[in-house]
Chains A and B, each alone.
Chain A
Amino acid sequence: GAVVSQHPSWVICKSGTSVKIECRSLDFQATTMFWYRQFPKQSLMLMATSNEGSKATYEQGVEKDKFLINHASLTLSTLTVTSAHPEDSSFYICSAYTSGFNEQFFGPGTRLTVL
């Protein structure tokens, strides 16, 4: 149980385009989903916390207008990287959490490459 999927697993796009990444909890309802970014040889950095039905809470230094997060249901959250640039190239990982579990369940990650 407690499986989280992400789609796509990798994406290559041109600079200036927008990319949407989906995060789904497959066998449980997630009240909270988290979005992380990981650059090569660095650790996971939390970008934002998303609660179903409410606006996401962004960490300091993360532009909310550039990284749009939607958490429309208890099983789906999306992250849209708008007007992507090469410096946005990174590994984006989501996780899902619900009360009763003592951990976050991580998706497999999405590798974004912006040309």
Chain B
Amino acid sequence: GQNIDQPTEMTATEGAIVQINCTYQTSGFNGLFWYQQHAGEAPTFLSYNVLDGLEEKGRFSSFLSRSKGYSYLLLKELQMKDSASYLCASWGGGGNKLTFGTGTQLKVEL
């Protein structure tokens, strides 16, 4: 089966750094995705990790530990526009399926 856990809400200050954690249990694991979703819009791709380690892409970085079933998304130099829901999704379980977590609603404050 598939199981994804991430915090429901987080609040951070503009200019700060925030880390959003995700744990997963996925059979046939093929990778871990992070998406950003603004209200009323479809998710937009942020990152994909399949090997252990840190992937850095501008202000956003994503980390994966396959042995621990753990990932995090790191957002640096937070901006107000980063206020959104961040979805962790595991790829696997046969049929190239994505299983989404409930999403973490991030609120960036002044």
Contact = CB atoms under 8 A, between A and B. Distances in A.
A109 B102 CA distance: 18
B51 to A, nearest CB: 12
A49 B95 contact: yes
Interface stretch (B39-47, B52-60, B66-74): B39-47
A43 B100 contact: yes
A54 interface: no
Contacts of B41: 108-109
Main secondary structure of the interface of A (DSSP, over half): strand
A109 B95 contact: no
A43 B48 contact: no
B42 A107 contact: yes
A104 interface: yes
Classify chain B's interface size. Answer: 20 to 34
A18 interface: no
A83 interface: no
A95 B40 CA distance: 16
Interface in A26-77: 32, 34, 42-46, 49, 57
A49 B97 CA distance: 8
Contact of B43 (A46, A106, A111): A106
Interface in B68-110: 87, 95-103
A83 B97 CA distance: 28
10 contacts: A32-B96, A34-B97, A43-B87, A43-B102, A46-B98, A49-B95, A102-B48, A103-B48, A104-B98, A106-B43
Instruction: Give the top 10 A-B pairs by smallest Cβ distance, nearest first.
Output: A109-B42, A43-B100, A106-B42, A44-B100, A43-B102, A43-B103, A108-B42, A93-B42, A49-B95, A106-B43
Interface of A: 32, 34, 42-46, 49, 57, 91, 93, 95, 97, 102-104, 106-109, 111
